[in-house]
């Protein structure tokens, strides 16, 4: 195995050679949108079996003038020439190709779930297939920078967190880390826009089906529940009990997580706790006391905005956490992880301002 740093050079500046497997979905095009403005990256491979031979800008006019590339069939040998390969693919794809790419010296960031859960049996239970490379799973680093920044810096393979788990974990972490809440009955009530379901055609995702409507789904159990549970268990001194219910709302982008916990220390300065915990985090914004963050305030950017409340001064704490599911919940966080892996400022290429209205 040979571990590379970067081998491509443009105008005397070393460039990270990047490949993207699965470049036609919403997460893939979000990666391309952000990487188009990254000064240290050159995208050399964009794969899609269904669109092989078709120009990127032909499928996505928004990228016209930014990428003079066509989609191609996934070629492990060509991908192995990259410094880093992003997988924006369905669950079960990255684990088939990651071992060979790692052996060739490339690094890997998987935006699907193949390397998120450290317990192989638990992963197989929730994803319904045998894991192809438990040895690689064991070495994968969970890519939540606000928790695992130093491990990410030295990682060869990063499991990019899910969108719901990112919003929920960032909201719960300060409380659980400090032991300020009972962890036996945490509640995550989360809402997502329709882009979270992907770009594939589906009757249930048509505007005529989701417009003017609002519903919960997977109340009996969602795949992101064990991921949230795992993250909180890493920082908790006591057993974690979690109820997680996702909802679909009629918007395109965004996740709003309303998180509930019961205080065990009624004297805690919650506003001060959150402000201090995230003071040095470039992509977590703790809002002033009494605020109610909106999903539109993070549209298209790699930010999480958080507000903490204690209704009627009681013993229940309510945390409001919003992200863009395609950016901080997927592609933006993946680029933040890439920056850390290659020794760059983690804000590199991610300094956009949210789009309003």
Catalytic residues: 163
CA 316 to chain centroid: 28
Where does 5-111 have alpha helices with state H? 26-35, 56-59, 76-79, 94-104
User: Cis omega before residue 357 (within 30°)?
Assistant: yes
Pairwise CA distance, residues 302 & 283, whole Å: 6
E strand or H helix that includes residue 13: strand 13-21
| Cβ-Cβ contacts under 8 Å for 92 (sequence gap 6 or more) | 112, 114, 127, 129, 132
Residue 285 token pair: 């914004």
Residue 95 token pair: 């684990």
Pairwise CA distance, residues 265 & 313, whole Å: 12
Which residues are bridge partners to 109 per DSSP? 86, 158
Pairwise CA distance, residues 227 & 241, whole Å: 13
Residue 234 token pair: 């890493």
Distances (CA, A) of 51 to 18, 72, 171, 175, 232: 19, 7, 39, 46, 40
Closest CA to 27 of 112, 141, 96, 97: 112
The answer to whether 179 and 151 have CB atoms below 8 angstroms apart is no
Residue 228 token pair: 């949230």
E strand or H helix that includes residue 246: strand 242-248
Pairwise CA distance, residues 323 & 334, whole Å: 14
Pairwise CA distance, residues 303 & 219, whole Å: 27
């Amino acid at each position: 195995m040979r571990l590379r740093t970067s081998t491509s050079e443009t105008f005397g500046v070393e460039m990270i050679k990047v490949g993207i497997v699965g470049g036609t979905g919403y997460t893939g095009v979000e990666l391309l949108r952000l990487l188009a403005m990254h000064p240290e990256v050159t995208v050399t491979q964009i794969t899609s079996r269904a669109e092989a031979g078709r120009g990127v800008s032909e499928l996505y006019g928004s990228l016209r003038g930014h990428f003079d590339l066509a989609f191609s069939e996934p070629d492990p040998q060509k991908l192995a020439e990259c410094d880093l390969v992003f997988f924006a693919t369905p669950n079960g794809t990255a684990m088939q190709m990651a071992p060979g790419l790692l052996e060739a010296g490339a690094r890997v960031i998987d935006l699907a779930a193949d390397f998120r859960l450290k317990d192989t049996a638990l992963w197989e239970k929730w994803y319904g297939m045998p894991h192809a490379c438990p040895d690689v799973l064991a070495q994968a680093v969970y890519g939540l920078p606000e928790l695992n920044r130093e491990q990410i810096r030295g990682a060869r393979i990063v499991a990019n967190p899910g969108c719901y788990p990112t919003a929920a974990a960032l909201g719960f972490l300060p409380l659980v880390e400090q032991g300020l809440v009972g962890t036996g009955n945490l509640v995550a009530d989360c809402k997502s826009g329709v882009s979270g379901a992907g770009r594939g055609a589906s009757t249930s995702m048509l505007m005529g089906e989701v417009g003017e409507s609002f519903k919960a789904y997977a109340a009996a159990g969602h795949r992101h529940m064990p991921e949230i549970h795992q993250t909180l268990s890493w920082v908790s001194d006591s057993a974690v009990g979690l109820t997680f219910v996702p909802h679909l709302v009629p918007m395109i982008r965004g996740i709003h997580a309303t998180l509930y916990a019961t205080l065990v220390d009624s004297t805690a300065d919650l506003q001060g706790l959150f402000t201090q915990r995230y003071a040095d985090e470039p992509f977590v914004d703790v809002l002033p006391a009494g605020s109610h963050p909106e999903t539109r305030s993070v549209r298209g950017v790699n930010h999480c905005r958080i507000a903490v409340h204690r209704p009627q001064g009681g013993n229940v704490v309510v945390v409001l956490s919003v992200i863009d599911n395609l950016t901080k919940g997927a592609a933006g966080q993946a680029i933040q992880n890439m920056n850390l892996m290659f020794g760059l400022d983690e804000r590199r290429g991610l300094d956009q301002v949210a789009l309003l209205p």
